[in-house]
Amino acid sequence: MGIATVNPTTGETLRTYDAHGNDEVERRVAAAHETFRKYRGTSFAERARLMRRAADLLDEDAEDVARTMTTEMGKTITSARAEAAKCAKAMRWYAEHAEALLADEHPAQADVKDSGADAARVHYRPLGPILAVMPWNFPLWQVIRFAAPALMAGNTGLLKHASNVPRTALYLGDLFRRAGFPEGCFQTLLIGSGAVEAVLRDRRVVAATLTGSEPAGRSVAAIAGDEVKKTVLELGGSDPYIVMPSADVPRAVKTAVTARVQNNGQSCIAAKRFIVHGDVYDDFAERFTAAMTALTVGDPLDDSTDVGPIATEQGRADLEELVDDAVSKGATVLCGGSRPEDRSTGWFYLPTVLAGITPDMRIHQEETFGPVATLYQVGDIDEAVEVANDSPFGLSSNVWTRDDADIALFVRDLEAGGVFVNGMTASHPALPFGGVKRSGYGRELAGHGIKEFCNATTVWQRG
């Protein structure tokens, strides 16, 4: 079976790789297991040295890596460069903070005595080889935000990346090897989705993390549950972007455009449902539609391009189905709604704004993975929260208001893993990231993320 790099800008197959066979997968799983036994005993200082070296190498490779991501999945070269820089930053952050984040925790002495011990503490230990099933949309960042904390904690990693980004996947495996991490510490498995179950069921693989679609998450969670193995899932999102009367509308519009079309609209944390109070709805809708219409759609390797292609032909077809379904049921197309006429090759789709969304439309409940925004008009804050929460997803949320009472209510009532006030959702190594409902469970990044794949060990001692 071949795993191919296909350029979404042209539709051209650039290279096909042979998938790893059973013997090679076995060799790599065995290496991850054997390496863990020794690597877990290395000091934080040694792991940090290796992680900083990997970050330095990534900085040196940044331009080549950015071009690889752009040609494999179509993100603009500007955003690809930013992604590489963000990864290096996160690697250095964990190199600096991992030891403190995993320091022993000491309960109050009165509680220690009450337990009957002379001393007690909580000690964090790594679990072992972790399987990471990762998506194509942020092909570097999604992996690094797992790998940096996992390796700093003393685990080893096995990467099953999306099959349309094999060059990025191979680069990641090579990066940690070049940095000096022991052989087997972090390895790429070039396998299809059908081969994941056997790896996950292997007794030497102790846990899994997945970022991807809800069906993929259900599958991995079911297998891991059957094996009683820990999982962290970051699945889809249909994030609300709420604009209240006190908002700075021009700023809210400018940020809304970026929040919707970042990564060509293919981001779980992209704002997708724009819920606007009636007092400012007309102003917001007019400005937002004009700004979306003005975006430059084109070659993602061109620095002037704002929106590149959808990553796969099937992805564009799925997006078109959602838009066509909404329009057939009465939605109004304020801009876009079709493929660009000047693009005869590649999987492009125009930035689109739809109004008049009703609950019977698929787009009301399903995630739009592309530059398509839906507009809702609401009469008050309670209706805004009701519309925002009327989704199976709960990854993050954005609210625009200068009213402290509004902010307090949104923080209390929005069903999401994050509430970003007067800004757009973003991830940072110091802040936990993850969702609720069908957006998954568990957290990545910060101290929460590094502890997900650690054994919180109670140490009780007398005498």
> Which residues are registered as beta bridge partners of 100?
none
Catalytic site includes residue 335: no
Mean pLDDT in the chain?
A: 98
Q: Averaged over 20-41, what is the pLDDT?
A: 98
Nearest Cα neighbor of 417 from 399, 449, 440 is: 440
pLDDT tens sequence across 112-167: 999 999 999 999 999 999 999 999 999 999 999 999 999 999 999 999 999 999 99
Contact between residue 50 and residue 274 where contact means Cβ atoms under 8 Å apart? no
Mean pLDDT of 84-109: 98
pLDDT over 90 (residue 11) = yes
Percent of the chain with pLDDT over 70: 100
> How many C-beta atoms surround the C-beta of residue 15 within 10 A?
12
pLDDT at 88: 98
Which of 231, 242, 183, 179 lies closest to 207 in space, CA to CA? Answer: 231
Convert the pLDDT of each residue in 189-220 to its tens digit. Answer: 999 999 999 999 999 999 999 999 999 999 99
pLDDT at 2: 80
Q: Are 323 and 363 in contact (CB under 8 A)?
A: yes
Contact indicator for 345, 381 with CB cutoff of 8 Å: no
Mean pLDDT of 408-420: 98
Question: At residue 1, does pLDDT exceed 80?
Answer: no
Q: Mean of the pLDDT values across residues 406-418?
A: 98
Do 369 and 229 form a contact (C-beta atoms < 8 A)? Answer: no
Beta strands at 119-126 and 186-188: parallel, antiparallel or unpaired: unpaired
Catalytic one among 268, 366, 444, 452? 268
Tokens of 438: 């069908």
Q: How far is CA 312 from the centre of its chain?
A: 18
- At residue 188 the predicted structure's pLDDT band, cuts being 50, 70 and 90, is very high
**What pLDDT was estimated at residue 344?**
87
pLDDT for 438 equals: 97
As beta bridge partners, residue 130 has 157, 207
pLDDT of 55 higher than 80: yes
Is 268 an active-site residue?
Answer: yes
What's the N-to-C CA distance of the chain in angstroms?
61
CA distances to 74, 216, 217, 296, 323 from 317, rounded to whole Å, are: 16, 19, 22, 21, 10
Residue of 234, 367, 444, 452 with catalytic role? 234
pLDDT tens string 374-397: 999 999 999 999 999 999 999 999
Residue 86 CA to residue 454 CA, distance in Å, equals: 25
Q: In the predicted model, what is the mean pLDDT of residues 80-109? A: 98
Mean pLDDT of 221-247: 98
pLDDT band at 82 (very low <50, low <70, confident <90, very high): very high
The stretch 292-297 carries a mean pLDDT of 98
pLDDT tens digit sequence for 301-356 = 999 999 999 999 999 999 999 999 999 999 999 999 999 999 989 999 999 999 99
Q: pLDDT class for 74, splitting at 50, 70, 90?
A: very high
Q: What is the pLDDT of residues 427-445, one digit of tens each?
A: 999 999 999 999 999 999 9
